[in-house]
Structure 1
Amino acid sequence: MCRLLGVVTRAPLPLDTALDGLVGPFTELSLEHRDGWGIAAGQGTGSSPLVVKGIEPAAGTDSWGRTLAGTVTDAALLHLRLASPGLPVVPGNTHPFTVGTVAFAHNGYFTPYDALDELIAPELLAGAAGSTDSERYFLRVLTLLRETGPADALARAAADVRERAAAYASLNCLLLAEDALYAYADEDPESEVSRRRGPDFFRLRYRVDEDRVVIASSGIPQPDDRWTVLPYREVLEIRRADLRVTTTRAAPHSGPAPSTTLAHVNRR
């Protein structure tokens, strides 16, 4: 299992400044989630995100600290990996994954890892860098992005996993796009991991401050009066232009369009 952290700020900042108060607690999680780390940072319009990865634990790794201090951006996602049994700790399996202007990171697993292969555009599948279920999840999202928006693509890809996989623990993920950062929350409460780690392990929570919005996995301090739980099977959208935050409830494949609720408009 893994840990996720995302941030969008009103103006570009060094990541360690944008994540003030969160870097230390999040880095400490890599003492358990020690099978690599990755950071994707948004760049200018039309540009691919800057992606830096390592296959060692983030804690005590110079490149982790240098990347946080030296990367100036208004939007980023961070990932700490705890590899699923049998999956090698190699760069190709290290999150985030990126294609074009989009980056993606996943917390959880599903089996078999190739459950979505028939639903992925052949040229995307041929370009897979590694052997993880997480990358296949991303490639299914990319395939859906050719016909729909990011929130719907995330919800539909997750529904495909639930329909086709033999088992899954969590489908929590972050998607960094040119205009927004998206988060999706989903869990099987009957999975072995959920029963062993407890009901809070796969919770995603977000926090809206005056000049930033953050979304994070459990494991760092998240006092209830400052953090809001992202309900399961909902998509959170944080707009990079104005920090506008909305949540969208996923609809069934054959049901009506998803419902969208304004969660917060962060004004100057």
Structure 2
Amino acid sequence: MCRLLGVVSKAPSRLTDTLSDMLEQFTELSGEHADGWGIAAWHDGGLTVVKEAVPAWSSQRYGEATETVTDAAITHIRLATPGLATEPNNTHPFSTGTLAFAHNGFFNPPDAIDELIDPDLLADAGGGTDSERYFLRVLSLLRTGDPVSAIAAAAADIRSRAEFASLNCLLLTKEALYAYTEEDPSSEVSQRRGPEFFRIRYLIEPGRVVVASTGFADSTPASSDRSIRWDVLPHRHVLEIRRSNLRVSVHRFPE
């Protein structure tokens, strides 16, 4: 299992500034989620991805990467599924060209959707994780569809073919940041961790929109009178945050 943090801001700024109230607490979670970290960010017109198979809290490169000047980024810290190697090729975000993808959860068996992945994409798989297969299925669907539909369809494919704990993910493109959430509440992980563990929240403010998994910052729901007000992304919904204007849309898909 892993933790996710994504942000789109009105203007490029260092991540340490854009996420100054959250990044330290998020990084502290790498004491448990200690099997790697990765940051994908738009910088100087291109998508840069930096990642290592070491704990974020102990990595000098992680500290350097959080100083990246960007208006859109995703950050991932990994707690590896038992049996899956802790190595760079299995570390999120996975990326190609102008796309980056990070997953929080697992499905089994990892090859459950291999026959649905375009052969050329599957042949280029760098690691052995279910998460990379999830990304490759999204890439296959993107060849004929849009990101919102591709994420939802990939999740439906996994749901129909595999056991899973969570299909939570972030997808960063040139145009937008997308988030999807779905869990199986009967899975061993959900039963052990509780109903909050796989929740995805988002925060809309004048200069930024943040989307994140739980475990850090203020988890206060939108109905509270507290100053930080997170909204909860319902299961089987796709959140879309446009880079051009911070417009937020929530797309629902049928049960």
Match of 2:168 in 1: 172
TM-score by length of 2: 0.95
CA distance in 1, matches of 2:57, 2:133: 28
- What is residue 251 of structure 2 aligned with on the other side? 248
Return the TM-score normalized by structure 1: 0.91
Within a 5 Å distance, the mapping from 1:75-224 to structure 2 comes to: 75-165=72-162, 167-221=163-217, 222-224=219-221
For 1:54, the aligned partner's letter is E
Mapped partners of 2:143, 2:65: distance in 1: 32
| Residues 44, 144 of structure 1: alpha-carbon distance in 2 compared, 3 angstrom cutoff | farther
Distance 1:202 1:133 in 2: 17
Deviation digits for residues 108-155 of structure 1 (CA, Å, limit 9, x no counterpart): 000000111000010000000100000000000000001111011000
Q: Separation in 1 of the partners of 2:26 and 2:7?
A: 13
Q: Distance in 1 between matches of 2:220 and 2:161?
A: 37
Q: Percent identity?
A: 60
Moved more, 204-213 or 214-223: 214-223
Give the equivalent residue in structure 2 for 1:24.
24
Counterpart contact for 1:152–1:250, Cα < 8 Å: no
Does residue 52 of structure 1 match 2:55? no
Structure 1: distance between partners of 2:159 and 2:65: 36
One-letter identity of the residue aligned with 1:68 = T
Deviations 1:64-111 (A, max 9, x none): 111101x11100000000000011100000000001110000000000
The residue that corresponds to 1:230 in the other structure is 233
Shift of 1:5: 0.2
Q: Which stretches of structure 1, 4 residues or more, deviate above 6 A after TM superposition?
A: none
Q: Does 1:4 align with 2:4?
A: yes
Superposed displacement of residue 44, structure 1:
5.5
Conserved 8 A contact 1:53-1:91: yes
Mapped to 2, the partners of 1:135 and 1:85 lie a distance apart of: 16
Distance 2:119 2:34 in 1: 32
Cα distance in 1, alignment partners of residues 99 and 129 from structure 2 = 18
CA RMSD of aligned residues (A): 1.0
Alignment coverage as a number of residue pairs: 248
